Every structure is written in C-alpha cells, then in structure tokens.
Structure 1
Amino acid sequence: MWRLQFFLISLSILPLVNTATCPTCPTGGIWSDWTAVGTCATTCGACSTLKYTRTCLSDALKDCKCSGPTTTTQLCGTQACNYPRVNGPKPPCCTGTPTVINNWYHCVNSSTSQTGGSTFCCPTGGIWGDWSAWAKKDEKSVEFTRTRSCLSGGLNCVCDGEIEETKYACPCAPLKTITPENNPCASKTTKTPFAMRDPAYFPSTCDATVMLENSNFRQPFYSYNDKKGSYTCTTGFVNQAGQCQTGEFPTGDNDTSGQFWRFTFKCNLETGAWDRKFDDYDMKGITHIAQFF
C-alpha cells in the first residue's frame, strides 16, 4: 500500500546553498521558495491545481533585480493515490502516470512545467547594506558608532563581519591644506595656494579650525573687489571627489598687521568630510582648503 505524502513535483524548488563561487547577484535575482495560496482540494492523484506565489528577495540589494513570474498555477497533491481507491475503482493518477521519486509514487506528466530551476547560492561573505552615518553616543563621550544590516540574512546567507563599528575619535580625517605640489585648483585660478600650516584638528569634538590671513603682511592675498565693495582674497576648497571650487573671501579692510581670520569647520558625520556655511557660499564635504595669493 502506498502511503499518502504531499509532494510538489511540478515545482523545482532548490534551497540556497553556501558556495564561494557565487556572484554577488545570481542571474535572475534571488527568489523565495514558492508558497501555496490556500490548500489543495485533493490530497493525491494530481487531480487539482493550486496557485503559488514567490517574492524577490534581492530587491533590497543594489543592482540585483529579479526576472521571472511572481505567481504560477501548478498541480498539487501529486502523491499517487492508493489503488483501488476507497470511493471507487479510479486510477491512482488523474494527471500523468505513477513514477517513483524518492521512494514514493508520484503522478508525473511529461508536459509538467518546471518553474524555477535556478540554483541559488550565497556570495562569499554575504551581502551587506551600506553603513549608516556615524553617530555620537552622547555629548560627553568621544565614542562614535555606525551600523549596517546583513541584506542576505533573510536568504539564509550569513554575512562575515561586524554589524556595528565603533571609533573613539572623530570619524572625519583631519582637514588638509592645498599645496603648490598638490593643487587640484590649478585650472580654477592662476594664483598660488598658501601652504603655511594645516588646519588645527580636534578629534574629540570633531572640529577643525582654519586660520586665514587677514592682511597682505606675508603675501599679497587681498585686492579690492569692486562688486563686493571691499577687499577680498581667493580661497579654494576640494571635495571628496577631488573637485575644486574657489570663492572670494571678504575682509573688513586692507589691514597689514598680520592678524588672522579664525573659522571653525564641523565634521559631517554622514559624508565623513567637513562643512562650513558662509554668507555667499557653502563649503560642504571638503577635505582640503587653502588661501591663495
């Protein structure tokens, strides 16, 4: 006598397997298993059909869209019925013929649709999401943390590495000075960067202090700007992409006493670079700065 066992032979459902050779995004994306909608009307003989659905698990991953149907209708209750049946001398299969699969008889039709069929796998190390912005634990501490999510965890693909990262100093690297030898602003101005000193760096408070000459004492920084109606000097600042922007920085007069302008920049915890807002323009996400003469 054949025991009754539900077996979905019409759906080729393969589990995720760990392998070191899997691409980050397998061809066709990464799908969930097929899930039955409702209950099969019959328990044997492949006499009924049932709707199945699946979801794209890799939509959350970068550049890993799924291709293929999200729903399908397939035979259900494919375990071959006992013969003769309790309610009459009907054949063991309404559809197909009894075939031994995994030591059980199932009703198999040569035209049965094999949905799915892709061998899914786990990329080496799993798939991590982007790191969050750094956040300071509290105002009194110098502890900064950021987190990330294992996007492939729901696919039974474990990620290697830590979910949380901690630093006990400012996440922004020190703000640097543009030098004549390393001057991305050369195409913006014919003037020369003044590389006397790097900005002061305060890792515990995530501040950087820039000292700009407020006179022509050391170099001819300032000239009269008719549009602004004051003396200005050229400043340049470079962003994380290495692009330079220049602007005219004002001063109150043409003093030659050798005094300085002091400006404080704040670390942007999202970009990991430095920001400062001025009246005429913003310095955002910068890594280097200089006064030109």
Structure 2
Amino acid sequence: MEFLQYILVLLLVFCSFFNGSFAQPPTCAQAGCPTGGVWGEWKTIGSGQCDMECGGCGTLVQTRECISDPICPCTGSSNRTTGCNFNACKYPTQKVCCNPYVPMVVNKVQICGPIPKTIDSSACCPQSTLYSEWSGYSSNGNKGWVRTRRCLTASIGCPCAAKDITETVDVCPCPAAAGLADSDCEGTSLPGNKGYVQTMAIDNEACTATVMFYAANQATQTPPFYFCKPMASGYQGAMNFQGAYITVKESVSKKCVAHTAFDCEGGKNTDKYPSAPRQDVTFTCNLQTKKWILDFTGNDIDSYYQGNWTLN
C-alpha cells in the first residue's frame, strides 16, 4: 500500500511540474516588454538526486535563464534552493513535513505541499513575439551561410508566429575589411613606411580571404615592384626592400599592431632576388562577429594596411 502511495506522489509531482512547464500562461496585460522580463523554467543543477527521502526536507539548487534578455531585461533572482521528495514522512520520523511545506491531501494521497512550480505563477505571454538576436552564421552544406533567430518564449508555452526565423546568404557574411587610416593609429609607434591597402581576395565558399603583399604601391606596373628586388634608380634612387609588414587595428583592443608579413633577410625567402616574390597574408571570417580574423594572431581586426622597410 505504501509503495502505491509513493508512486501516486511521484505522479502528482510530475504532473505539477508538467503543468507548470507547458500550460500556456495568460497574455500579458501591457504591450512591449512584460514587467520583470520573461524567465525560463527552473532547472536543477548537478545530479538532481534528492538528499532526503520525504517531507520536502531535501534540497535542490535550481537556476533559470532570462530568455528575453537583452531585449527585455529580467528582474529577480536566477538561482533558488527548493525542496524535493514531497511524499509525507512516516513514523518514527519526528515530523510529517519540513518547513515551509505542510501536510495536504491530493487525490486521496497525503503529500507535503504546495509543490514548487517550474514556471512562476506571474509568467505571461508577451503581446508581441520575442525572438533572440541573430545567431552566428554556419555553413548550410550547399555553398551558402545561414543564421537563425529563435523564438524566446516557446519553452514556457508561449508560441511565436514562426518558431524560428532563418536567413541564408550565398556569399561569405564578412565584408571586406576597411583600409586603415593614419589617423586611426595616432600615438602608436609603427615601423617603416606606410604602403597601401591591397584589396582582399575573398573565397566565399570557404569564408577565407587573402591579401597579396608587394614591396610598394607599384603592383599595377609592368613589371611590378616586389619584395626583395632592388627598385630602379629612377624611382627615388636604388632601393632594396628588406620586407613588409601588415598593420591592423584589432577589434577588441582597438590598438594598431604591426606584424612582419615578409622578411627577405629572415630566411623566409630562399632567393634574395627572385623574379616575382610575393607573400600571402591570410584571414578567416569570424562567423559570430562578422569580423576578419588575422590568422597569424587569431584576433579579429577592423582594418589594415601594408607597410614596408628598406635596407638603405
């Protein structure tokens, strides 16, 4: 008999949690953001094993997420400690229920209640649909890129007009990085001479980019001036370019930083005066921020330019 009562209590607890999670709340009285935001379900942290056998005397730590943030910020706590195992205790236990729960009979079964809800009784469905911010992009497996906005309120029983909104693009979502202006790096000590901005060559299928570096802004001439090749005496005198660097403005630090892209004397080039040397600087699109990552450092950048330095 006691075993059957225990099973009935478990069913009551399950039904209480089920109804609290999935019964659709009423529509909010006010338009826009609901007062206090929209909280998700309370979920147990850890193993979920109760440390006591009856009376709601055990404790579980639970947490919940503000599912409307940052569109509608929430008020209240995101953590709570709640009781567990709500079947009434039997003799010789000194008390039937632990505070704050009291004995009650539900469907002819004695339990300790009221059983905590997984959704607050004050929850309501917003009058207008709430969707998340756009996710980062990911490959759709067909040479395209897709991102998603989720229905924020579906988990508490408030459906959206469309469960999820998706957007697909055929080109890499990172736009070509802007050219870095001198004024962007004021107060920063940078090596050599500023060169120019060579346009990124973007691979839309792989979402990567390449910048081909030359020794100076003469790449359109025939033949062009390259790294490690003495320039003609008619161009500001004979000049031997030792190498080139890429200067980037990093997205997070907002600092201008120079990195060597090509060094003729540093062993990166087997022939000091090849006929057409070049060096590719590579980037990878950050599909979350839509910024280009300089592969050499792994950092997002806002803009860049090519610089160079000479032996004489």
Q: Place the TM-score, normalised by the shorter chain, in its bin.
A: 0.5 to 0.7
1:186 and 2:183 matched? no
2:65 alignment partner in structure 1: 58
Q: Structure 1 200/122 Cα, relative in aligned 2: closer, same or farther at 3 Å?
A: same
* Unmatched runs of 5 consecutive residues or more in structure 1: 1-7, 33-48, 80-111, 225-230
Query: Once the 2 structures are TM-superposed, how far is the Cα of residue 14 of structure 1 from its aligned partner?
Result: 11
Q: Given that residues 243 and 263 in structure 2 are in contact (C-alpha distance below 8 angstroms), is that contact kept between their aligned partners in structure 1?
A: yes
Q: Given that residues 245 and 306 in structure 2 are in contact (C-alpha distance below 8 angstroms), is that contact kept between their aligned partners in structure 1?
A: yes
Query: Once the 2 structures are TM-superposed, how far is the Cα of residue 292 of structure 1 from its aligned partner?
Result: 2.6
Looking at structure 2, the residues matched to 185 and 248 of structure 1 have their Cα atoms a distance apart, in angstroms, of: 17
Which has the larger share of strand?
1
2:87 alignment partner in structure 1: none
Alignment map for 1:132-281 (pairs within 5 Å): 133-138=136-141, 141-159=142-160, 162-180=164-182, 183-189=183-189, 193-214=194-215, 215=227, 217=231, 231-241=242-252, 242-253=254-265, 260-278=278-296
Looking at structure 2, the residues matched to 169 and 290 of structure 1 have their Cα atoms a distance apart, in angstroms, of: 24
2:305 alignment partner in structure 1: 290
Q: Given that residues 251 and 300 in structure 2 are in contact (C-alpha distance below 8 angstroms), is that contact kept between their aligned partners in structure 1?
A: yes
TM-score between the two structures when normalised by the length of structure 2: 0.51
Query: Once the 2 structures are TM-superposed, how far is the Cα of residue 167 of structure 1 from its aligned partner?
Result: 1.3
Q: Given that residues 172 and 267 in structure 1 are in contact (C-alpha distance below 8 angstroms), is that contact kept between their aligned partners in structure 2?
A: yes
Q: Structure 1 185/24 Cα, relative in aligned 2: closer, same or farther at 3 Å?
A: farther
Query: Once the 2 structures are TM-superposed, how far is the Cα of residue 252 of structure 1 from its aligned partner?
Result: 1.6
Q: Given that residues 285 and 292 in structure 2 are in contact (C-alpha distance below 8 angstroms), is that contact kept between their aligned partners in structure 1?
A: yes
Q: Structure 1 179/155 Cα, relative in aligned 2: closer, same or farther at 3 Å?
A: same
Q: 1:70 aligns with which of 82, 99, 114?
A: 82
Aligned residues: 219
Q: Structure 1 75/128 Cα, relative in aligned 2: closer, same or farther at 3 Å?
A: farther
AA aligned to 2:144 is E
TM-score between the two structures when normalised by the length of structure 1: 0.53
AA aligned to 1:264 is T
Looking at structure 2, the residues matched to 283 and 194 of structure 1 have their Cα atoms a distance apart, in angstroms, of: 23
Which has the larger share of helix?
2
Q: Structure 1 213/147 Cα, relative in aligned 2: closer, same or farther at 3 Å?
A: same
* Coordinate RMSD, CA, aligned: 4.9
